[in-house]
Amino acid sequence: MGFGPGGRGILPRLDRQTVRAHLVDVNDGVIATAGVVEGLLAAGASVITIVVAALGAMVGGGVALGGMKYAEAADERDAELAVLAEERRLHELQPEEELAELATLYEDKGLSPDLARRVAEELSTKDALLHHAEVEYGITLSDDSPTPVGTAVLAGLGFMVGAAVPLTVSALAPATWRIPLTVLTVAAVLGLTATLVARLGGMRVRRTVLRTVAIGLLTMLLTLVGGSLFGL
């Protein structure tokens, strides 16, 4: 995660990595809520009970995931701020030593000593701290990087969007078709989102889809069995 010196909006510009991360949040919402729905369906719960439980899973899961992502992002931001503050102090106190260190970092990446020194000098004329932070720590300063609040909001919304899939199907499907239609719809949505995740991340599509759909189906199977054993 990075952050620039200027002010930023809450929500970031959605790049491939951000979209991919929040598609995974959608999958989490689908799988978690599908498990709740299928278990209650197998237990013979009424539609009202299922809808209320699914809504609870949707809202509770979205808030919980958003809170967790906020804490993670805030911790990372605080750690990066501490690193940048120390680097800024060192650049002010000993600029030549920091320039030499930056040149060494470029040498470690494969540049010759002379070229590494020239690259370090040229880049440092624009923003020494920015380039040093990026090369040494992987910190990218950017005004459109996500804030902790933006990360939390998108994660929670992603979970709720996913949770809405089994909730909607279970509420609208005919009674005799609720279980199979929920299973098929969940599998289809997971297959679609997993395909997008794989393509955005440069992964094998087939392996990613099979793994994601298998997890979803296993979750529903276990809750179906549990619901049947402990029927209402």
Structure confidence at residue 96 (pLDDT): 86
pLDDT at 12: 53
pLDDT at position 5: 40
pLDDT for position 13? 59
CA distances from 1 to 78, 84, 147, 175, 212 (A): 11, 13, 9, 47, 26
Predicted pLDDT at 232: 53
Could you give the C-alpha distances from 186 to 30, 113, 150, in angstroms and in order?
7, 56, 27
Measure the CA–CA gap between 119 and 174, rounded to whole angstroms. 67
Q: What is the distance between the alpha carbons of residues 156 and 148, in angstroms, rounded to a whole number?
A: 12
Contact criterion met (CB below 8 Å) for 193 and 215: no
pTM of the predicted structure, to 2 decimals = 0.79
* 142 Cα distance to chain centroid: 19
Place of tokens 């949770």: 163
**What residues contact 159, with CB distance under 8 A and at least 6 apart?**
25, 26, 28, 29, 32, 58, 61, 62, 65, 66
pLDDT at 217 (0 to 100): 95
Q: What is the mean pLDDT of each run of 10 residues along the chain (232 residues)?
A: 44 72 94 94 92 95 96 90 85 84 84 85 78 78 74 95 95 92 96 94 93 95 89 59
